């Protein structure tokens, strides 16, 4: 096991993400495509520094050597952010500093938060994806295409009800809402179809943010255009009074949706600030959906370089669990190693001794040397390492170092990681770029050489109820699950309708290993309440709602949008 | 004046638009850019056959020779369609057949109708824009960007009301709705903000189709990024109880909207099936907005070739009137000639003797030789020629020939056109491509050589009420205007608030020269009722509502979407 390296020294001052991004020496996107081994001319340029990769590339790349497949996850996130995206980007860059090639696969960020709470989703510092204004705005329009396809189905469902409701759908059991890629609280709960007969049937419904659309999850989980078409058809938009599912196929909309999503199915190619290839594709929510980037992007990337680094949303109990049990189940791909990002700050918060608020300065108590609090909070780290090892995957803990950390605090993390059988390294990629993650990359190389014993947490044949129990007890550390009467009825209904083989996505808070956001560390002695169970039959999973899960954010009193503008030189300001 | 040419003979069978499009030999978009005289590398490719042109090109092109500026309009449209887009495309192609170069500028079609009523908006037959699936679907995402920018402002307005309403906006006078690029009748009239305090303030509102967004009109009328930013700030989102306007600038959203629209401000370059350059940019509605493609596209195109052909929406009373009095007023550009498209079928309908329904076969009575009905219906042609000549522009009537036409019927059109002082030619560009519009192109060359006496219908200083009277009487042929009490109050209010200098867009039916859709030909002896007047202060016009103007279409019992799919080869089927 590698020893902890000293913090690298650097003379580079830490400028703002935007300033750093503007210093980047970008290469033409065709050159980045060449690094992936893609044949000349296959890339479809979208501007000079973004390209789409046609799905023919999956077949085209298949004869090339296979990369090691590395999933990046984290301790349970705190409002501070643990730096999972920067670490994914930094690690991929780090491989290039030890003579290996690598590609990183990320989700496309939603514009909602970009204009809501300040914060891009392109990494940061010297570990970011460029051009940052492309990734944080429309990119190549994939999210817009998902919005359009989703809302076409919404209009077709209402039109179906308006023109005779041939499927016999129960007006009180229409399951399909609408979506918009904006934080708009006023759209959460609305009544449509008002103003007279010509405007359709009045009914209660609402909008979610596009990342929460099942269409987004379908885009992420389909492994070909045909599979996309098939999955779209399987989307359940409502139920008949006798409990039969009415699908997008029944409504006659799945073909048109597939046509709308044809270009969106092609992964987007970008680069990091060090010209490492980046695949950006799909952005499903991390609670009601599986929170991972697309299968087709990984299918292309897995034959593109020595290592393919892919990021899973939220903590290892959420994103990584779904990576293993939903994404890998659908793709048939197997990870060779997992990276778990941990921070001193995060583990201090997990000690339960400190309250932090996003965007506010850290309290003084967080900034003093305090290895004891790190040790208390490390219960979370311990459990998340366990969660990764449950799936038979070698683990490397990446300590994402901050200037306010102390060596004694890093030492505690390293000790806990080693106790749990994980490798561990300190990384400074935000400040130092790939050079700051070279030791991490070396540890990942070693971990990925170990024989892989990947296994899923549960077989598809396991009953839906048991799947939820298994995830809650083995991953979250619950004593058990309490299903509401409604949830029990839904589970029985879905099983009877032939959906019992689906994996389950548990929609709980991401801010705790438990289903109670206020519990830090690794809570024990609690039971998980399941309020309701819903179906994403097109995406291919059921999801269990534990507590209030918001699928449409609101804007704050001072939204980021108010500070974003174009300056006299025509440049974007205030975006991040 | 040129004589009527005989129908050209051709051996090419008339295949479907899609089959024809797939036969096209497309050139790389960089080569098309070169034909416009754009420097190498300036074009930003979006796929291999679409590119965006940065606005620097306006300045870069300025030293090149200026093109003749040709606007294409039509008789009052019937449900059959007169072929204005095919004629615009065919004419541009036709110039190349007589040794001239030309570019055509068109609006971007909305996806709503594409998935609603069958019918692409890329021209047709051998006069179409390719690739047709790009122009009819997302293209480069401009419409989506308009949707997003519009809805960000909507969310920011509701958020402003939620967080204290510092502007003091009257909750009953919020003027800003939301938009979606889908035909969705259920969204016309909705109540938002339900479900408790956390979901905002409950209020009545609704969605329009994106083409009806003022942001779309702003995109079309801005002449630079700075002008876009300024106009966005001037959008009025509501009013205080004392009648003061609350703007997007007041809400702090104009900068963020400009950032969202930065890429959308760049015109899109495509090509016709004969490789003629096509500028596709912006798609404002033709009733509540001015229905013309963008000023920046025309500013680039006007120095790109010998002729710039631009299409104006609906009949000459609508699109062309706004082209002259809204678009040219904003751009300072002056047309050299106008083309008026007329069909035998359309004029037969204008005789009032035949009822036709879109998508249904023509009644037999329409297919028999009947120059008399054509002569009766030609009252519409007469008036529309007059409307163009009112603005001092030489007119060429383009008879868009159909296989069911008779020579005697063409002869009537030619006779009326000549009586009215217009040139006239028969064209067969749908069947024959540019070769079928060569004689039309030649007539346009001659017309554009005449000295131009372009003048606007009214000066900016004229009172809003008088502008409406002027348009109604001189263009539509009304005896006068009857404003409702509400409309009178609004006109007085807007004038008092300093908006009296704006041009006026009259939102009436496009299916009649009058404000009553059932009146064909050139109705006289009627008065125009104005129900309400609204403000598009950012776009830079007021609009008067005459009758029910629908800003959100619905889907029919058999929407086009149901027939659209992806086939086994992964190709799009049923799109047109």
Which residues partner with B190 through β-bridges? B205
Query: What are the distances in angstroms from CA A458 to CA A140, A245, A453?
Result: 37, 26, 15
Question: Which residues lie below 8 Å from residue A164, measured CB to CB, with a gap of 6+?
Answer: B557
- Dump strand ranges (E) for B24-160: 44-45, 51-52, 68-74, 102-106, 123-124, 127-130
Partners of B46 on chain A (C-beta within 8 Å) are 45-47
- The percent of residues above 90 in pLDDT, for chain B, comes to 87
Tokens, residue A150:
């989703």
Is residue B65 less than 8 Å (CB to CB) from chain A? Answer: no
The response to whether B524 counts as a known ligand-binding position is no
Partners of A196 on chain B (C-beta within 8 Å) are 189
Cβ–Cβ of B180/A566 closer than 8 Å? no
Separation in Å, CA of A392 to nearest CA in chain B:
38
Average pLDDT over residues B456-470: 98
Residue B114 has what pLDDT?
A: 87
Q: Is the pLDDT of residue B322 over 90?
A: yes
Q: Which of A46, A147, A190 sits opposite B191 (nearest CB)?
A: A190
Q: Is the pLDDT of residue B63 over 90?
A: yes
Cβ–Cβ of B155/A555 closer than 8 Å? yes
Assigned CATH topology for domain B147-260? Domain 2, N(10)-formyltetrahydrofolate synthetase (3.30.1510)
Separation in Å, CA of A289 to nearest CA in chain B:
23
Rg (C-alpha) for chain B, rounded Å, is 23
The response to whether B83 counts as a known ligand-binding position is yes
Cβ–Cβ of B151/A182 closer than 8 Å? yes
The response to whether B403 counts as a known ligand-binding position is no
CATH 3.30.1510.10 domain range(s) in chain B: 147-260
Helix extents (H) in B390-428: 407-419
CATH 3.40.50.300 domain range(s) in chain A: 17-47+63-140+267-449
- A vs B, Cβ pairs < 8 A, gives 237
CB A444, CB A450: distance < 8 Å: no
Cβ–Cβ of A191/B191 closer than 8 Å? yes
Is residue B554 less than 8 Å (CB to CB) from chain A? Answer: yes
Cβ–Cβ of A259/B565 closer than 8 Å? yes
CATH 3.10.410.10 domain range(s) in chain A: 464-545
Separation in Å, CA of A320 to nearest CA in chain B:
32
Which of A:149-178 have CB within 8 Å of B? 151-152, 154-156, 158-159, 162-164, 178
Tokens, residue A75:
């301790």
Cα of B23 vs its chain's centroid, Å: 28
Partners of B182 on chain A (C-beta within 8 Å) are 148, 151-152, 154-155
Burial of A195 (0-12, 13-18, 19+ CB in 10 A): middle
Sequence-distant contacts of A245-249: CB under 8 A, at least 24 apart: A245/A497, A245/A535, A245/A537, A246/A167, A246/A168, A246/A169, A247/A537, A248/A153, A248/A538
- For B328-386, what is each residue's pLDDT tens digit? 999 999 999 999 999 999 999 999 999 888 778 888 989 999 999 999 999 999 999 99
Q: Which of B47, B111, B162 sits opposite A148 (nearest CB)?
A: B111
Partners of B555 on chain A (C-beta within 8 Å) are 155-156, 159
pLDDT digit string (tens) for chain A, length 576 residues: 333 333 333 434 457 787 888 888 999 999 999 999 999 899 999 999 999 999 999 999 999 999 999 999 999 998 888 899 999 999 999 999 999 999 999 999 999 888 988 666 789 999 999 999 899 999 999 999 999 999 999 999 999 999 999 999 999 999 999 999 999 999 999 999 999 999 999 999 999 999 999 999 999 999 999 999 999 999 999 999 999 999 999 999 999 999 999 999 999 999 999 999 999 999 999 999 999 999 999 999 999 999 999 999 899 999 999 999 999 999 999 999 999 999 999 999 999 999 888 778 888 989 999 999 999 999 999 999 999 999 999 999 999 999 999 999 999 999 999 999 999 999 999 999 999 999 999 999 999 999 889 999 999 999 999 999 999 999 999 999 999 999 999 999 999 999 999 999 999 999 999 999 999 999 999 999 999 999 999 999 999 999 889 999 999 999 999 999 999 899 998 886
Assigned CATH topology for domain A464-545? Formyltetrahydrofolate synthetase; domain 3 (3.10.410)
Is residue A148 less than 8 Å (CB to CB) from chain B? Answer: yes
3-class secondary structure for A241-299?
CCCCEEEHHHHCCHHHHHHHCCCCCCCEEEEECCCCEEEECCCCCCCCCCCECCHHHHH
The rounded distance, in Å, linking the Cα atoms of A409 and B481 is: 81
The rounded distance, in Å, linking the Cα atoms of B46 and B139 is: 9
Element (H, E) at A483: strand A480-483
Partners of A252 on chain B (C-beta within 8 Å) are 561-562
Assigned CATH topology for domain A17-47+63-140+267-449? Rossmann fold (3.40.50)
pLDDT band at B119; cut points 50, 70, 90: low
Q: Is the pLDDT of residue B414 over 60?
A: yes
Residue A575 has what pLDDT?
A: 81
Query: What are the distances in angstroms from CA B153 to CA A139, A503, A516, B172?
Result: 21, 39, 34, 18
Residue ranges of A for the binding site for ATP? 78-85
Cβ–Cβ of B260/A46 closer than 8 Å? no
Q: What b-and-e string marks burial along A20-45, b requiring 16 or more CB atoms within 10 Å of the CB?
A: bbeebebeebbebbebbbbeeebbbb
Partners of A155 on chain B (C-beta within 8 Å) are 182-186, 555
Is residue A258 less than 8 Å (CB to CB) from chain B? Answer: yes
Cβ–Cβ of A46/B48 closer than 8 Å? no
Query: What are the distances in angstroms from CA A246 to CA A173, A176, A215?
Result: 10, 11, 16
The rounded distance, in Å, linking the Cα atoms of B344 and B403 is: 11
Residue A10 has what pLDDT?
A: 41
Residue A8 has what pLDDT?
A: 38
Is residue A260 less than 8 Å (CB to CB) from chain B? Answer: yes
Q: Architecture of B17-140+264-449 per CATH?
A: 3-Layer(aba) Sandwich (3.40)
User: Could you tell me which chain A residue has the CA closest to the CA of B561?
Assistant: A256
pLDDT band at B388; cut points 50, 70, 90: very high
The rounded distance, in Å, linking the Cα atoms of B407 and B371 is: 9
The response to whether B86 counts as a known ligand-binding position is no
Is residue B117 less than 8 Å (CB to CB) from chain A? Answer: no
Separation in Å, CA of B510 to nearest CA in chain A:
21
The rounded distance, in Å, linking the Cα atoms of A135 and A17 is: 13
Partners of A556 on chain B (C-beta within 8 Å) are 163
Partners of B183 on chain A (C-beta within 8 Å) are 155
Question: Which residues lie below 8 Å from residue B549, measured CB to CB, with a gap of 6+?
Answer: B287, B288, B507, B508, B509
Is residue B59 less than 8 Å (CB to CB) from chain A? Answer: no
Q: Which of A47, A187, A192 sits opposite B44 (nearest CB)?
A: A47
CATH 3.40.50.300 domain range(s) in chain B: 17-140+264-449
Residue B7 has what pLDDT?
A: 37
The response to whether B82 counts as a known ligand-binding position is yes
Is residue B144 less than 8 Å (CB to CB) from chain A? Answer: yes
Which of A:271-300 have CB within 8 Å of B? none
Interface test with A, best of B197, B561, B562, B574 (most A CBs within 10 A): B561
Is residue A54 less than 8 Å (CB to CB) from chain B? Answer: no
Which residues partner with A545 through β-bridges? A507, A532
Residue A118 has what pLDDT?
A: 64
Please report where in the chains the tokens 């009304």 appear, as a residue.
B478
> Phi first, then psi: what are they for B27, rounded to 5°?
-100, 155
Separation in Å, CA of B269 to nearest CA in chain A:
13
Separation in Å, CA of A119 to nearest CA in chain B:
14
> Phi first, then psi: what are they for A136, rounded to 5°?
-90, -5
Separation in Å, CA of B554 to nearest CA in chain A:
8
The predicted complex's ipTM stands at 0.95
Q: Which of A185, A192, A263 sits opposite B187 (nearest CB)?
A: A192
Residue A361 has what pLDDT?
A: 85
Q: Which of B45, B190, B254 sits opposite A194 (nearest CB)?
A: B190
Separation in Å, CA of A551 to nearest CA in chain B:
12
Q: Domain spanning A142-260: which CATH class is it, in words?
A: alpha beta
Q: Is B155 helix (H, G, I), strand (E, B) or coil?
A: helix
């Amino acid at each position: 096991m590698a020893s902890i390296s000293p913090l690298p020294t650097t003379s580079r001052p830490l400028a703002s993400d935007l300033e750093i991004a503007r210093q980047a020496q970008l290469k033409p996107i065709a050159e980045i495509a060449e690094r992936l081994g893609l044949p000349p001319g296959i890339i479809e340029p979208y501007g000079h520094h973004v390209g789409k990769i046609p799905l023919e590339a999956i077949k085209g790349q298949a004869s090339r050597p296979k990369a090691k497949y590395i999933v990046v996850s984290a301790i349970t996130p705190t409002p501070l952010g643990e730096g999972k995206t920067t670490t994914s980007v930094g690690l991929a860059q780090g491989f290039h500093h030890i003579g290996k090639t690598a590609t990183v696969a990320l989700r496309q960020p939603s514009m909602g938060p970009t204009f809501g709470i300040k914060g891009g989703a392109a990494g940061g510092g010297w570990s970011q994806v460029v051009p940052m204004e492309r990734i944080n705005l429309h990119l190549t329009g994939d999210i817009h295409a998902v919005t359009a396809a989703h809302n076409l189905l919404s209009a077709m469902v209402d039109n179906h009800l308006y023109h005779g409701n041939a499927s016999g759908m129960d007006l009180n059991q229409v399951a399909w809402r609408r979506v918009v890629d904006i934080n708009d609280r006023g759209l959460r709960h609305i009544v449509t179809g008002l103003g007279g007969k010509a405007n359709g049937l009045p009914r209660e419904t609402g909008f979610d943010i596009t990342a929460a659309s099942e269409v987004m999850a379908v885009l992420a989980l389909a492994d070909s255009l045909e599979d996309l078409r098939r999955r779209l058809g399987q989307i359940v938009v409502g139920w008949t009074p006798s409990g039969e599912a009415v699908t997008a196929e029944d409504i006659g909309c799945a073909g048109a949706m597939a046509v709308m999503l044809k270009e969106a199915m092609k992964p987007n190619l970008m680069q990091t600030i060090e010209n490492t290839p980046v695949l950006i594709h799909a952005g499903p929510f991390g609670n009601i959906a599986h929170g991972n980037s697309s299968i087709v992007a990984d299918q292309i990337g897995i034959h593109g370089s020595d290592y393919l680094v892919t990021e899973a949303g939220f903590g290892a109990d959420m994103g990584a669990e779904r990576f293993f049990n939903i994404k890998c189940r659908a793709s048939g791909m197997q990870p060779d190693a997992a990276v778990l990002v941990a921070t001193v700050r995060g583990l201090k918060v997990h000690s339960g001794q400190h309250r932090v608020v996003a965007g506010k300065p850290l309290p003084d108590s967080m900034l003093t040397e305090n290895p004891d609090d790190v040790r208390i909070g490390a219960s979370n780290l311990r459990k998340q390492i366990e969660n990764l090892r449950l799936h038979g995957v070698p683990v490397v803990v990446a300590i994402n170092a901050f200037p306010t950390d102390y060596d004694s605090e890093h030492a505690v993390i390293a000790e806990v990681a080693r106790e749990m059988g994980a490798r561990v390294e300190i990384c400074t990629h935000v400040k130092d770029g790939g050079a700051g993650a070279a030791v991490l990359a070396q540890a990942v190389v070693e971990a990925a050489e170990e024989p892989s014993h990947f296994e899923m947490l549960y077989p598809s044949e396991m009953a839906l109820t048991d799947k939820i129990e298994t995830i809650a007890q083995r991953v979250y550390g619950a004593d058990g699950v309490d299903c509401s009467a409604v949830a029990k009825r839904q589970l029985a209904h879905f099983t009877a309708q032939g959906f019992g083989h689906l994996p389950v996505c548990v929609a709980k808070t991401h801010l705790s290993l438990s289903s109670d956001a206020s519990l830090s560390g690794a809570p024990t002695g609690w039971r998980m309440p399941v309020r309701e169970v819903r179906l994403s039959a097109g995406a291919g999973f059921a999801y269990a709602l534990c507590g209030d899960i918001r699928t449409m954010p609101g804007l704050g009193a001072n939204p980021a949008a108010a500070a974003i503008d174009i300056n006299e030189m025509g440049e974007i300001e205030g975006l991040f």
